[in-house]
Structure 1
Amino acid sequence: MGPENSKTRFLLLDIAERLMLEEGYAAVGIRRVAREADVTPALIHYYFRTLDDLFLALIRRRSEQELEAQTRALESGRLLHSLWAYNSHPRGAALNVEFIALSNHRKAVRAELVSYAERARELQREALANYLRARGIDPEAIPPLALTVLISTVSRALTMEDAMGLTVGHEEALALVEEYLQKIDGAPAPETD
C-alpha cells in the first residue's frame, strides 16, 4: 500500500470526497477517480486495494478532521451553541447523508461510521456533563447524552431539509431551539474561590 502521507493519496481522497458531494457515493469508483485524477486505475489500487478501502480511508480522514473541529467546539464558553453550529455545517451534513447511504450496502463502512459516532458522542457527553455541572445544573435533570443526540440529530436534519429546499417550520423550530440553548448557555457559571 502507498504511503498515507503521499500528496497523490490526498488528491485521490479529495477527488472521492468531491464526487460524493457533487454526485453521490455511487459516482465514486476506481476508474472514475483515476480518470478525474488523470492516473491509471492501477495507481489507485497502489493506495487502496479495494473501493471499500478508499471509502474507509475517506471516512477516517473526515472523522479525524471532525474530531478536531468538535474538540474546538467543546472548548467554547457557549458550548450548546457551538455544538449546534458544528452539527449544522451543510458540507458535513451532505457527506453524512452519503456515508449513511453507503453504509446500508457496506458493513465495513457502517462499522467505521458507528465507531466514530460513538467516540464523538462520548466526548460530547463528557464535555456537556462538566459544562452543566459548572452552571449548577444536575446532569441527571438534563442527561448529557440525550442532549448531544438531540442537538446533533435535529441540527443535521434541519440542515439536510434546508439543502433540499424544505424550510416549512424551520423558523419556529430554530426559535424554540435558540430559547432552550440560551437558557443553559446564558446561565452564568458559579464563581469559584
Structure 2
Amino acid sequence: MAAPRRMGTESSKTRALLLDIAERLMLEEGYAAVGIRRVAREADVAPALVLYYFKTLDDLFVAMLRRRSEQELKAQEKALGGERLLRSLWEYNSHPAGAALNTEFIALSNHRKAIRAEVIAYAEKAREIQRKAVSEYLRARGIDLPPLAITVLISTVSRAIVMEDAMGLTVGHTDVLALIDEYLDRIEQAPSAS
C-alpha cells in the first residue's frame, strides 16, 4: 500500500503566493484561466509544486474560496458593527472586486459540485450572521420588517448593480439607488425603541 502523499502546509508563503496568483487570474481573466500549469508558470515554479499544495485543481479553487470567505466574514463583521448597519451592509456588498469573484465562483459552481457546496456553505453562514445583526438592528428601532428578506434584498440587489455596472448596463440604477437611499435613511432615522 502506498504511503499517503505529503501536502504543503497551509501557512506556507509559497501556498499563499499560489493562491494570490490564482485569485488574480480569476479576477483578470475568469475562472477558465486558472489551471495548475498556468499558476505554476505565473509563479515561476514547476507544476509539481502547485500539486504539492493542492492535489487537484478543485482543491486549489476550494482553498481560494475558503481563504476569501474567511476574509469576507471578517470584513462583514466589521461592517455589521456600525450605527448605520444597513448602509454599511449595502456598501460591504457593493465592493466591485468581491462581486467579480462571487460571479466567477458562482459560474464555476455550475460545473463543479465541490465548489457549489463551498459557495452555498459560505453564503448560508454569511446570511445567518447578517440576519441576526439586521434582526437586532430592526428590533432596537421598533421596525417590523422580515430581517432575512432585508438581508437578501441588500446583498443581492447591491451585487447585481455592481455586476451590471461592470458590464456597462446602468439603465435604472440612479432611480434604484435613490430609492434605496431614501428607505435606508427612513430606517436609520427611526428612533431607537430602547
Where does the alignment leave 5 or more consecutive residues of structure 2 unmatched?
A: 1-6
SS of 1:46 mapped into structure 2: helix
User: Any idea what the Cα deviations from partners look like across 1:38-66, whole Å, max 9, x if unmatched?
Assistant: 00000001000000000000000000000
TM-score (norm 1): 0.96
Of 85, 102, 119, the residue aligned with 1:79 is 85
Please provide the CA RMSD for this pair.
Answer: 0.7
The percentage of counterpart residues that share the same residue type is: 76
Name the counterpart of 1:146. Answer: 149
Deviation at 1:182, TM superposition (A): 1.0
Name the counterpart of 2:24. Answer: 18
Does the alignment pair 1:124 with 2:130?
Answer: yes
Name the counterpart of 2:158. Answer: 155
Of 20, 26, 35, the residue aligned with 2:41 is 35
Distance 1:104 1:162 in 2: 23
Does the alignment pair 1:66 with 2:72?
Answer: yes
Deviation at 1:189, TM superposition (A): 1.8
Deviation at 1:69, TM superposition (A): 0.4
Name the counterpart of 1:182. Answer: 185
1:159 aligned partner, one-letter code: V
Deviation at 1:186, TM superposition (A): 2.1
Distance 1:65 1:23 in 2: 22
1:158 aligned partner, one-letter code: I
Distance 1:119 1:26 in 2: 27
SS of 1:61 mapped into structure 2: helix
Name the counterpart of 1:92. Answer: 98
Where does 1:98-109 land on structure 2 (aligned, <5 Å)?
A: 98-109=104-115
TM-score (norm 2): 0.95
Displacement over 6 Å in runs of 4+: none
1:155 aligned partner, one-letter code: S
Name the counterpart of 2:4. Answer: none
Where does the alignment leave 5 or more consecutive residues of structure 1 unmatched?
A: none
Distance 2:192 2:58 in 1: 47
2:100 aligned partner, one-letter code: A
Distance 1:189 1:65 in 2: 31
SS of 2:83 mapped into structure 1: coil
Deviation at 1:187, TM superposition (A): 1.8
